[in-house]
C-alpha cells in the first residue's frame, strides 16, 4: 500500500518502522466481495463486533483487526474519540500547513497541506477512514494524520472497528475494508465459493502516486475525482461499444418514428385547413407547404485506437467497494 522512498519521505518511513506497520502498509490481498456483503448484512443485532457468515462467527473487533495487520498493541493508546476531541485546528495547521491552513467548514483543502501530510491523508482515506475525496479532507482524517506524524500512540484496530460499525448502520454507504474482511472471514474458517465475486487488490502508494495526488489537491479549483476503476479489457470495451451502437440505433428509430408521426399530423392539419378555407371561400393560393421535420443528425460514435485499449492489470481499490 505504501511504497515511498525514504529519501523523499523519511519521516513517513520512520513512523512505519516505529509503529510496526510494515504489514499494515503492504498491498492488500484480493477481496471476496460476496463474503464482504454477507458480513455486513449478517451483523448481530447488538453492538458486538461479530457477524455470522456461512455458519461461522467472524469477529472484527480491534484486537482481531490489529492481529490481522500484525500491529503491536500499545497500552498507552487512548480511545480515538478522546484523542480526536482534544485535538484542535491550530495543532493540525501547525504540523500539516506550514504556509497556513485553508479551512472550508469542517474540511481542510489539501492545497494547503505539505507533502508528508498529503501522503498520510491519502493512506488514511484508503485504509483507515475511507473516502474517495481527493481535494479536501474532513477534520478527523486531518487529526489522525497529525497524531501519526507526531508519534501519538494509536489503536488503529479500534478506529477501523468504528468505521465498519458506522458502515453497517448507514446502509447506503460503500462496503469498506474488503481485503481486511475477507482475511478475517478466512481466519474464522469461512469457505469461499467458486461463484463468489473476487476483487483484485489495489495498487501501492508510490512517490508518483503522492506527487500526482499533490498536483490534484494543489489546483486552484480542483474538481473531485471519481473513484478509480479497473481498466476495461478489450472484450468489455467491445461489449460497451455494441451497447452504445444499439442505443444510438434506438434513438435513430425513435426519431424516425416521431418524424413520421409529425409528418402525418401536419398533413392532416394541412388538409383540414384547406377544407375549412375552401368551405369559407378563402384564397389559399399564397399558402406555403410547411417544412417537414428534418431527418435525425446523429453522428456515428468515435472510438479510440486499438493501441489505447489496455489489458487488465492491477486495478485500484479505494479502500471500499
DSSP 148-207: HHTT----HHHHHHHHHHHHHHSTTS--B-HHHHHHHHHHTTPPP-TTS-EEPPPPPEEH
CA–CA dist 239, 249 (Å, integer): 15
pLDDT of residue 302: 42
- Residue 6 pLDDT: 46
Beta-carbon count within 10 A of 41 CB:
13
Strand partners, 50: 59
pTM above 0.85, yes or no: no
Decide if 234 contacts 309 (C-beta within 8 A). yes
Residues 6+ apart with CB under 8 A from 123: 1, 2, 25, 205
**Per-residue pLDDT, 154:** 95
| pLDDT for position 250 | 65
User: For position 298, what pLDDT does the model report?
Assistant: 47
Q: In tens digits, what is the pLDDT along the chain, a chain of 321 residues?
A: 555 544 446 788 888 888 999 899 888 889 999 999 999 999 887 778 999 999 999 999 999 999 999 998 888 889 999 999 999 999 999 999 999 999 999 999 999 999 889 999 999 998 999 988 888 999 999 999 999 999 999 999 999 999 999 888 877 667 889 999 999 999 999 999 999 999 887 655 555 555 554 454 444 444 444 444 455 566 766 777 776 766 666 666 666 777 777 777 777 777 777 777 777 776 666 666 655 555 555 454 443 433 333 333 333 344 555
> Which residues, 6+ apart, have CB-to-CB distance to 226 below 8 Å?
132
pLDDT, tens digit, 9 for 90 and up, residues 166-219:
888 877 667 889 999 999 999 999 999 999 999 887 655 555 555 554 454 444
Neighbours of 202 (CB within 10 A): 21
* Residue linked to cell 469542517: 106
CB burial of 160-186 (b: ≥16 within 10 Å; e: otherwise) equals bbbbbeebbeeeeeebbbbbbbbbbbb
Q: How far is CA 141 from CA 46, 123, 166, 292, in A?
A: 28, 10, 15, 61
User: What is the separation of C-alpha 102 from the centre of its chain, rounded to a whole number of angstroms?
Assistant: 24
The pLDDT score that the predictor gives to residue 73 is 82
- Residue 197: all three cell numbers together: 465475486
User: So what's the pLDDT on residue 28?
Assistant: 87
| pLDDT tens, position by position, 79-97 | 999 999 999 999 999 999 9
CA atoms within 13 Å, Cβ hemisphere of 208 = 2
Q: Are 42 and 194 in contact (CB under 8 A)?
A: no
Amino acid at each position: 500500500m505504501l511504497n515511498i522512498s525514504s529519501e523523499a519521505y523519511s519521516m513517513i518511513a520512520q513512523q512505519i518502522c516505529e509503529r510496526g506497520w510494515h504489514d499494515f502498509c503492504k498491498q492488500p490481498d484480493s477481496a471476496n466481495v460476496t463474503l464482504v456483503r454477507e458480513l455486513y448484512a449478517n451483523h448481530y443485532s447488538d453492538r458486538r463486533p461479530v457477524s455470522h457468515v456461512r455458519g461461522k462467527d467472524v469477529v472484527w473487533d480491534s484486537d482481531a483487526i490489529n492481529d490481522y495487520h500484525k500491529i503491536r498493541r500499545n497500552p498507552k493508546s487512548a480511545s480515538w474519540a478522546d484523542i480526536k476531541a482534544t485535538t484542535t485546528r491550530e495543532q493540525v495547521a501547525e504540523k500539516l500547513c506550514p504556509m497556513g491552513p485553508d479551512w472550508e467548514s469542517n474540511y481542510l483543502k489539501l492545497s494547503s497541506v505539505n507533502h508528508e501530510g498529503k501522503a498520510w491523508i491519502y493512506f488514511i482515506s484508503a485504509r483507515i477512514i475511507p473516502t474517495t475525496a481527493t481535494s479536501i479532507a474532513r477534520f478527523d482524517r486531518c487529526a489522525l494524520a497529525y497524531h501519526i506524524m507526531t508519534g501519538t500512540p494509536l489503536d488503529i484496530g479500534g478506529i477501523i472497528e468504528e468505521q465498519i460499525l458506522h458502515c453497517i448502520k448507514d446502509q447506503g454507504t460503500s462496503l469498506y475494508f474488503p481485503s481486511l474482511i475477507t482475511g478475517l472471514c478466512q481466519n474464522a474458517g469461512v469457505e469461499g465459493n467458486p461463484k463468489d465475486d473476487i476483487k483484485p487488490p489495489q495498487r501501492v502508494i508510490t512517490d508518483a502516486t503522492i506527487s500526482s495526488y499533490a498536483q490534484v489537491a494543489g489546483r486552484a479549483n480542483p474538481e473531485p475525482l471519481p473513484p478509480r476503476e479497473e481498466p476495461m479489457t478489450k472484450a468489455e470495451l467491445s461489449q460497451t461499444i455494441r451497447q452504445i451502437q444499439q442505443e444510438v440505433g434506438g434513438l435513430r428509430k425513435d426519431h424516425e418514428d416521431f418524424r413520421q408521426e409529425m409528418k402525418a399530423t401536419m398533413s392532416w392539419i394541412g388538409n383540414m385547413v384547406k377544407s375549412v378555407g375552401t368551405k369559407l371561400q378563402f384564397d389559399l393560393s399564397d399558402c406555403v407547404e410547411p417544412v417537414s421535420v428534418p431527418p435525425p443528425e446523429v453522428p456515428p460514435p468515435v472510438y479510440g485506437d486499438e493501441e489505447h485499449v489496455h489489458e487488465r492489470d492491477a486495478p485500484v481499490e479505494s479502500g471500499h467497494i
